[in-house]
Structure 1
């Protein structure tokens, strides 16, 4: 834990988060850069090692190497540890160490944890962190066991257990890294299991649990006892279900006759693949069909899904489903002539609406500018660049094949995007701005014509 005793060196919570992630990324990059981390490919450049460390810590999943073929066991363990630390948050891991050592969690550290978990207050934050660690452990263990049982039929039991642990952590934390590229006659990600209901269902459950956030999971576990769900949980669950359903239908219809994706599959295979792509597109980066072979309309739809992202307090990125719901609610309220946004009979405060608009606009501007810049420096078509930029910023990890072809400048640019996307542009802006001062006066109201 950082020492905050000297006031002149005191950092605010967003600054601690930014510095903490930077330190973890740099340590990971150095470890991945070591010769012990690779097999049969020689030593990669430090930029490639930094790219992989950033992608893992920011739980993105974009890769400039074939993870299963190019990393040694040591390198794979380093990568998945970075995913675990990045998914749960380095402050959560620091809190775990403090709890094990029976060290008191200071108020400043509770503020940082509040920021990291997107929680409303510091009240009960340590108790929430304990739950987060327990939930994550049980879910990842269950996923590892289910995967290991299935893969024990096609590989040695030791390898099946190792693969189960690696992919359970990777998929639950919405990272999307896989080791199948290192096996003979295997395609990357879960493409070998495109029509396997078992692998598809287990993967989707892990992605959904990792994407709805620990606050919602805690609510769901206590629901049988208190029969109540918070407004946050209701919004996240409803919006997530709606987005999964809409995404499945759109991908199924758009790709139904595409001979390179869904057309050769059975009806069950088409449905499973469309659903997995829908679930995965908002953050996880797992795929069972080739994304680059999808129609442009489908790819653009996935860009929209990645932009929306997962839930607050999860390892997913994007503008978050709650932000999307508030924006939709604002449009609906305006059309109906209402002055307030009401969700589940609860009024949404104006500061939440302003924050949603700010976050969305900043994210949109950042993606547009980044796409324009990379369109100049990278020799790739526009939609592919937009796809890769959105995937990096939203930490979604899906790719149409551009990542491995990036120039040195392009790799550094994507590294920055992944870092900004993991922290969020608003949080990052707070790290560089002074504390806001409350104004003691108000300007007279003015009117501007809209529309």
Structure 2
């Protein structure tokens, strides 16, 4: 055992002023508390009688689950969205989706900047932690950039959808506008909420509905740092940061691979792609290949898919999209880092390299932590569903991964789950939206610094 150099001076005299420290000292704790507060506020609003179409207010558990699914931009539902919720209720869901997608603290920082034109250090640190910006100094630009990009892409998508709903489906202009805005916001924020009881199954072969939504889902899944960098340097890929390169190439690979996988396995399925024409099959296959990254829209019946397709979609949902955006899962950057680390280990190399850059050891350790925590959450939750419900392994695993990945695709069993299991899915959505490390850091009582190093020894691996 030896002391770490410089750590012997880490301790300091006690503060004689005895200032009262805030209870939420870590940015992760502030993020968790803020999301939880918005979640509960949304549940309270959805419990109001005016939020439901039927007499009386909604059941609290239904309101809580819907609020959590909206704030965590998931899309899992326990009641029929257009039939159960009134216009007010749907508006609350839309606001919750936008808050959850932008980030609660990002939105709060925007309001403070608009009013006072400045942020305190604690607010900057929290916003930096949520947006994954470089540091508290660039938070102002990042916050405004996030909002501008979000509103611009949502407006473009809404305009295309509005035009299509009004011209091809004879929707009145106010209704077409509402449909366009709601689905655009839901798509960009990867939420998957739809104002149709069958989600988007009525538009399976309509490219003017499916393709704009697909575009918005992919854009939101890239993450705000990537979107902001592409806005500035889209013509010069050689100047992209390592993070942007990984996200762009991995996203393309997952879109192509996921679309080919779903299309091939469901090509002859009479309940999904089988009855469609060849162009219709390709469009539906592309749509369902993109949605597991992490938007819960579906243009075919997920419950009728082959079990093999479910398993592949489980993998896509678990990986998810990019960091610091609206996507969930362990993130494609995490997957790429581990893949490169495994490749380097197999080749006997001392370090993992990607795009002519060497990865830090700490990045590999962090990626491994995210994967193991995520896998543990999925396995334990699936075990709970298997032991407490009558649903099989395929259905239980699919629902759990969908909740953890904040995807929202469902085999149709969520609404039938008992109350305790629905609460479990709420926890999974919450953890999946904020990230396992963020939640774990928020739960930690304190940050411990070891002042010494133990003797080194290596166990046998493999």
Query: Which residue does the alignment assign to 2:328?
Result: 317
- Residue 59 of structure 2 corresponds to residue 45 of structure 1: yes
1:95-134 equivalences under 5 Å are 95-134=109-148
Q: Secondary structure at the match of 1:281?
A: coil
- 1:184-241 per-position Cα deviation (integer Å, ceiling 9, x unaligned): xxxx111111111121210110000000011111111111576621110000000010
Q: Deviations over 1:358-399 (max 9, x none)?
A: 010010011000000111122211110110011111101110
- 1:12: Cα distance to partner? 1.2
Equivalence for 2:78: 64
CA distance in 2: counterparts of 1:10 and 1:306, whole angstroms: 32
**Deviation of 1:440 (Å):** 2.9
Superposition map of 1:233-252 within 5 A: 233-252=244-263
Matches for 1:158-237 after TM superposition, within 5 Å: 158-181=174-197, 188-224=198-234, 228-237=239-248
Q: How far did residue 434 of structure 1 move?
A: 3.6
Instruction: Check 1:132–1:8 CA distance in 2 against 1; reply closer, same or farther (3 A cut).
Output: closer
Cα distance in 1 between the residues matched to 2:188 and 2:338:
28
Q: Does 1:378 align with 2:389?
A: yes
How many pairs align? 441
How far has the Cα of 1:44 moved from its partner? 2.5
Q: Aligned partners of 1:446, 1:123: CA distance in 2, in Å?
A: 41
The 5-angstrom pairing of residues 226-375 of structure 1 reads 228-375=239-386
TM-score w.r.t. length of structure 2: 0.93
Determine which of 23, 27, 30 is the counterpart of 2:41: 27
Q: Equivalent residue for 1:185?
A: none
Q: Which residue is 1:390 aligned to? A: 401
Offset from partner CA, 1:142-171 (integer Å, 9 cap, x none): 111110000002111110001101110011
Gaps spanning 5+ residues in structure 2: where? 1-18
CA distance in 1, matches of 2:231, 2:25: 35
CA distance in 1: counterparts of 2:351 and 2:445, whole angstroms: 31
Query: Is 1:85–2:99 an aligned residue pair?
Result: yes
**Alignment-derived partner of residue 173 in structure 2:** 157
**2:284 is paired with a residue of what secondary structure?**
helix
**Contact (CA 8 Å) 2:50, 2:89: kept in 1 or not?**
yes
Give the whole-Å Cα distance in 2 for the aligned partners of 1:21 and 1:397: 19
2:92 paired with 1:73: no
| Aligned-partner Cα distance in 1 for 2:194–2:22 | 45
Structure 1 CA distance, aligned partners of 2:22 and 2:259?
A: 53
CA distance in 2, matches of 1:9, 1:251: 48
Deviation of 1:42 (Å)? 4.9
Give me the whole-angstrom Cα distance separating, in 1, the residues matched to 2:227 and 2:262: 28
Is the Cα contact below 8 Å between 2:82 and 2:196 reproduced in 1? yes
Task: Give the C-alpha shift of residue 421 in structure 1.
Answer: 1.3
In structure 2, the partner of 1:184 is none
- For residues 415 and 42 of structure 1, what CA distance do their matches in structure 2 show? 24
Q: CA RMSD for the aligned pairs?
A: 1.4
* Unaligned 5+ runs, structure 1: 182-187
1:178, distance to aligned residue in structure 2 (A) = 0.6
Contact 1:58 1:83 in 2 (8 A): yes
